[in-house]
Each structure stands twice: as structure tokens, then as C-alpha cells.
């Protein structure tokens, strides 16, 4: 396989309201056991890409805390690496200057210290099971300098809003980039995933500084396409969700309770890695009643849990009821309390009010560490 360096690009990640007030979406809890960044990092690892730079836009503490020893995703720890790249100067100058391009330039040592022939860049807010090997192979076969990955959507009027839309020629070239405003049901949605030859990548970084210091990588590529640059398009056909709103976070998480949907993301030959916690299996008391839910290890369930997602260490006390809710790590649902259509952030406690009742159209939220 060709020598590749991967970049997990956290710049331009969507904000999920209060969920991302103190963390980036990359480190936000997903299905009770994972963080969003685990999915794409696992795609890198499963594709044989074990040299990865993580381009951090904000909240670097939450990223470092989740990564821990960083040995979880590297198959070959002798020659592989996972490093965080943070552009402090860009942050100080303001959000306009804190771009992925500026981050790449500031941390150009990542590429310089590798022998990579190609660069693969992907975000964390797109959740999919994607093998980069056939994409790189097609990129090489087509003698392309840049390849953009896209998904043909039939729900673009309600999903992928404000993400890039590609116009692709019959020959498989990207001839235009626009924004999805929800005007059409069918659209070629850019997955913000790129394969770029090393020499071309280095020249793009140099060129970007001459055009605009505010340009992000996708801005630069759109600019180049407008100028006639030949960019190849690769169509991905598997499971794909863009977690770009709290509503989508809620809906897309729960659709994975359906085993038919879950099998599209979690495949026997394509493991999703995450940080290991030395906690015991979930424990169920004599009065526990659990149906259609994800329950992480370390939970203690003494009450009822229906159609919900519980992270590690959650305690649902006797007589308590949780339904259609997402409960983060080490939270407590007190005795005889009821929680419905609610997101309970980590280390929160529902012990004083008798019930927290949201609605499927208006999800309730309890902040991290609060006791209500």
C-alpha cells in the first residue's frame, strides 16, 4: 500500500448547542461508549493508516483527555503515531485566522517527519464505515492530484444542510461546489474527505497564504475548481450520517438501536476502537426492566430503562424510569424519578424533581454536573 499520512480535521465541526459548550463534537459521547472521533480514527486504522495528525480547532483539553495514551487506534505503534495539532497563534488572533490550513502550516512537522506520498483528510462529524484503500487506489489509477469523496443523497432537503454540494461531470470530475440550502431532495454531498498527492498538498498550503489567510481547505479547493483545477470525485455508497444539530444527534443515535441500521456501521471485519475503561459489566438489580437500549459497562440498573442510551457508570435507582433518553457518564437517576426525551450530561443527578419530561420535538437537557 502507498505511504499515507491521515489528518482528522476538527475545524469547521458543527456545534451541538450545550453539548459542545465545553467540548468539541469529536470528543462528545456517541452511543454511550464511544466518542465521535473514534469512528474516523478507526477507519484510518482499519485502512492501514497509522500516522495520523488530529487538527484541533478548540477545546484541546477534551481531545487530550479522550485520547489518553493514544495507543488505542495505532496498529503498528513502532512506526505509527497519533498527535494533536493545535494552532495557538491562530486562536489568539481570532476565529478567522484559526483555520485548518493555518494549523497544517504551523504543524507542518507532521508531514515533514513522515515519508507519506499521499495525504488523506477526513472530519469527525460524518459517521460512516469507510475504507480509504479503494479511494487511494482509484486516485492513483486516475493519476489524480486531488480526489474529493461524496455521497449521493436523496434527503438533501432535510439533511446535510449547509454542507458542501458537488456538481460532478459524467467523467467523474468536480466542476462546481455550492452550499446545500435544502432546496433539492437529491444532491451530491461532500463528505469533506480528500485524498491529495503530497507535492500538490504542499503547494496548496503555500498558495493558500497568497490568496486569503481566512481560507479553509474546502474554500481553497472550491476556489481552485472555479479556476478550472481538475479534481477527481469518488462516490461513497455506504451508511452516512452528519451529526450537525442536537436534533440529528438524538435521532441518528436512536436509529442505531435498530440492528439492521447498526450493522451498516458496525461490521464484523471493521472494528470500532475506543479507549478501554477497567470497569465491570453492567449490573441489573432484581427490579430492573430494560428494553431496546444501549447499556455501557459499569452501569447499575435498579429501575426501568426503555429505548435509551446509557454511558459508563450510570446509576438508575429503584423505581426510577428512563425512556427515550441519552444519559452520559456517571450520572444518577434517583429513586422513583422519571426522565423522558432528555439528554443528561455527565456527572449530573436527577434526585430532587420528580420528573424531567421533554418531547420528541423538544428535547430537554441537563448540564454537566448539575443536580436537579
Give pLDDT tens digits along the chain (372 positions). 789 999 999 999 999 999 999 999 999 999 999 999 999 999 999 999 999 999 999 999 999 888 875 566 665 455 567 889 999 887 878 778 999 999 999 999 999 989 999 999 999 999 999 999 999 999 999 999 999 999 999 999 999 999 999 999 999 999 999 999 999 999 999 999 999 999 999 999 999 988 999 999 999 999 999 999 999 999 999 999 999 999 999 999 999 999 999 999 999 999 999 987 788 999 999 999 999 999 999 999 999 999 999 999 999 999 999 999 999 999 999 999 999 999 999 999 999 999 999 999 999 999 999 999
Domain 283-366: state its class. mainly beta
Give the domain 4-265 fold. Answer: Spore Coat Polysaccharide Biosynthesis Protein SpsA; Chain A (3.90.550)
The pTM of this model reads 0.94
Percent residues over pLDDT 70 in the chain:
97
Count, residues in the chain: 372
Q: What ranges do the domains of the chain cover?
A: 4-265, 283-366
What gap in Å lies between CA 23 and CA 26, rounded to an integer? 8
Nearest by Cα to 8 from 163, 110, 121, 164: 121
CA 247, CA 80: separation in Å to the nearest integer?
Answer: 37
- Give, for 93, the enclosing helix (H) or strand (E): helix 88-93
As a whole number of angstroms, the distance between CA 16 and CA 42 comes to 23
| Greatest alpha-carbon span in the chain | 68
Amino acid at each position: 500500500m502507498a505511504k499515507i499520512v491521515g489528518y482528522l480535521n476538527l475545524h469547521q465541526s458543527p456545534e451541538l448547542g450545550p453539548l459542545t459548550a465545553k467540548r468539541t463534537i469529536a470528543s462528545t459521547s456517541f452511543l454511550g461508549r464511544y466518542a465521535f472521533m473514534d469512528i474516523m480514527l478507526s477507519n484510518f486504522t482499519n485502512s492501514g493508516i497509522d500516522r495520523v495528525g488530529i487538527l484541533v480547532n478548540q477545546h484541546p483539553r477534551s481531545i487530550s483527555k479522550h485520547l489518553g495514551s493514544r495507543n488505542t487506534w495505532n496498529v503498528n505503534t513502532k512506526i505509527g503515531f497519533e498527535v494533536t495539532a493545535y494552532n495557538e497563534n491562530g486562536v489568539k488572533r481570532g476565529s478567522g485566522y484559526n483555520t485548518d490550513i493555518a494549523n497544517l502550516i504551523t504543524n507542518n512537522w507532521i508531514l515533514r517527519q513522515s515519508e507519506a506520498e499521499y495525504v488523506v483528510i477526513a472530519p469527525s462529524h460524518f459517521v460512516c464505515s469507510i475504507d480509504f484503500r479503494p479511494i487511494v487506489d482509484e486516485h492513483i489509477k486516475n493519476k489524480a492530484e486531488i480526489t474529493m469523496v461524496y455521497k449521493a443523497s436523496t434527503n438533501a432537503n432535510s439533511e446535510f444542510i449547509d454542507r458542501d454540494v458537488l456538481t460532478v461531470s459524467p467523467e467523474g470530475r468536480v466542476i462546481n461546489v455550492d452550499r446545500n440550502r435544502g432546496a433539492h431532495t437529491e444532491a451530491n454531498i461532500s463528505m469533506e474527505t480528500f485524498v491529495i498527492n503530497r507535492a500538490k498538498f504542499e503547494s496548496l498550503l503555500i498558495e493558500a497564504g497568497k490568496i486569503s489567510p481566512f481560507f479553509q481547505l474546502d474554500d481553497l479547493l472550491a476556489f481552485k475548481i472555479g479556476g478550472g483545477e481538475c479534481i477527481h470525485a469518488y462516490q461513497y455508497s455506504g451508511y452516512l450520517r452528519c451529526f450537525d444539530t442536537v436534533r440529528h444527534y438524538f435521532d441518528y443515535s436512536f436509529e442505531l438501536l435498530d440492528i439492521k441500521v447498526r450493522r451498516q456501521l458496525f461490521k464484523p471485519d471493521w472494528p470500532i476502537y475506543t479507549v478501554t475503561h477497567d470497569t465491570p459489566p453492567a449490573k441489573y438489580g432484581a427490579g430492573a426492566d430494560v428494553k431496546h437500549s444501549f447499556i455501557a459497562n459499569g452501569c447499575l440498573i435498579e429501575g426501568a430503562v426503555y429505548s435509551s442510551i446509557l454511558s459508563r457508570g450510570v446509576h438508575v435507582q429503584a423505581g426510577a424510569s428512563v425512556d427515550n433518553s441519552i444519559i452520559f457518564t456517571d450520572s444518577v437517576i434517583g429513586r422513583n424519578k422519571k426522565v423522558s426525551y432528555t439528554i443528561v450530561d455527565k456527572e449530573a443527578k436527577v434526585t430532587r424533581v420528580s420528573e424531567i419530561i421533554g418531547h420528541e420535538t423538544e428535547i430537554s437537557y441537563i448540564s454537566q454536573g448539575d443536580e436537579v
